[in-house]
Structures are given as structure tokens and as C-alpha cells.
Structure 1
């Protein structure tokens, strides 16, 4: 079993260096044919691992129920890329500052995972960062209903991931989940976390 309390930054860096492929909300549904020539909108999310307490935790949010896309779901801070964002890291840091009040200069960026395509037409770059200092989130209520943390050790165990299904546009769509206490983490968020978990175990 991984011991992520001992030098987690080195382990995360090694995971980022390992080869991998882009993922998709449709990974578990090979019968679903994505349309050719589709245009995806670039976006980025920030996977923040906090280290200040000695027990690495991952910062997650519960999205506002008033949002158009993915209302009430568990997600990373993030969103679509704007023209003035220099790159995916700048995109993710800006969104994290807007959504949960994380100062953009505070996280240490380690790198990025391969992109993830969502059912809503975004090509999302997961940007991995660590936070050495204590941080008190200030949520933007128009976007975020709650900010919470989940132990990295729970999220980095592939055996903790389940495959569930629901009907979507008249078809049964399968997806990953990684429940934690009262939080139902699923879909794109669970898929991107599992991608990192598999790399850590490689």
C-alpha cells in the first residue's frame, strides 16, 4: 500500500512523468461513438494537495445547485479557459482564486495530467499542485456551495473506485465513483483522480 505521508511531492512528480493517455467521460462506454470533427472548449481544473497538516488532503468543492453545468456535483475548482489565460496552469489558478479564494501565488504547480473530455464538450487539463501553507477557503456562493478535503490516501487507492451507471440521453452510461463519507464523487472528477491513482501505483 502506498505511504503518501512520506515525501508525497516526489511520488506525485514521478506519477506525472509516467506515460498516459487522454481520458473521457465515455471511457467505460465503448459502444458510444463520439462525433467526428467535434469542437471541444478548453478548460482546466486545479487538483490541490494540501500538506500543512502532515496528512495530504485533496481540496474539492460541491458546486452550487444554481449552476447550468453539473449543478450540485463534486468538482475541482476550475472552468473554461479565457483568452487572457497564458496556459492551463494560469487558467486553473485563476479559477481557484475566483471560486475558493486560493491566492494564485500560493500553490506549487507540479505539472499536468493528460486531458479529459467531458459530456458537456470541454477538453479539461487537470493541473496538479501542492499547498505547503494552511489555507482557509472563501467560497464564491454563486458557484460553490461547499469546500472540503478528502485524504489523498483514500483517493489514490484504485480499489476504492466503483463503476456505476445511469441513463443519459436514452442510453445507459457507466462511470467511476469514489465515495467518501457524505460525498458522492463521480464522473469526470472521479475519472481524473483515478488516472492519477493508477499512475502512482505503476
Structure 2
């Protein structure tokens, strides 16, 4: 009887250790966290780069960016929309009821050479917060970011919005209030709408 109890205790202890190891591996591997660098790139970083040989002249507004090709740029990000709702589908042979319903974007892209439609494929789980962080910082979103979707902290690392504002570009936002959560200050004007409506 004592031997059976000893084996039962050892089996229980082994199972508990196995569970602890599994939880540790899961949290270290699946729920990755990112280290955010609070530094921003500047024009002086170009001179220090071993990959860049000729020094660039700064433009008239003091930035090290090339002169813009266009005066204004409008970027429309449509989150959680089927691509064949915007552009004609090549997947289905026959036209489905939802296809090609937002024709204004497709017409604009086909008539005007300065317009483009891009398709982004996101791996699940996906939230607006994760996609916006990925688009603006160039980083890969993590599963742990899903928990931050309801009250996201402001982005403190280098990002596209910061670089545009730093180089004298006026940035206006209209849309999901997640943008305001991530970037509370840089917009000249903002027209946020609640995310969950």
C-alpha cells in the first residue's frame, strides 16, 4: 500500500512538473513580447551608417528626406474588408453579390495613374491595434497585443507618423479612434469615431 501511494505521489509530481514546463514554454514561445526602443531616427543617423556612402544635402525645410514627388498624399486604410469587395475577384468564376461593391476605389485606381490598391494579408488573431502598429512601426505584432486593444498605450517607438510630422508634413486622421490611442498628439486635425460601432 505504501509503495502504491509513493508511486501515485511521484506520478502526480511528474504531471505537475510537466504542466509547469508546458506553461513556461507556452508563455515564452507563443505569447511573445516585444522590446520597444524609445529612440527615433534622425538625419544624423545617415552619416553614421556604414551602408550609405555619399552624404545627402538637407532639403530647404531642414529634413534629410528627398523632395516629395507629390504635394498631397491620401492613404486610405480599410480594415476588415474583403478584397473582392473593393476590386474584381480572380478567385471566383461567377460574380457573387458582395463583389465589386466599392467601385469608386477601383475606378479611381484604373483611371488615374497616381492611385494604387494594395492588399494586405493578416495572420489571425488580428485587431485594428495590431495592424496599425505593424503598418506604422514596421514591427511584427504579437498575440499579447490583443489584450491592449481596449485602451492601447501610445506608441513610443519610431514610426511613420512621427517621421512625417518631424519632417514638416501635416497629418490629418479620420476614422477609428484606435489611431488617437496610438498617436495622441501628432495629428493637425483628427476626426475619430468609436471603434465598436
- Tell me which interval the TM-score lies in, with the shorter structure as reference length: under 0.3
Q: Which has the larger radius of gyration?
A: 2
Between Structure 1 and Structure 2, the one with more helix by share is 2
Give the strand-richer structure, 1 or 2.
Answer: 1
TM-score by length of 2: 0.23
Larger RCO, structure (CA 8 Å, separation 6 or more)? 1
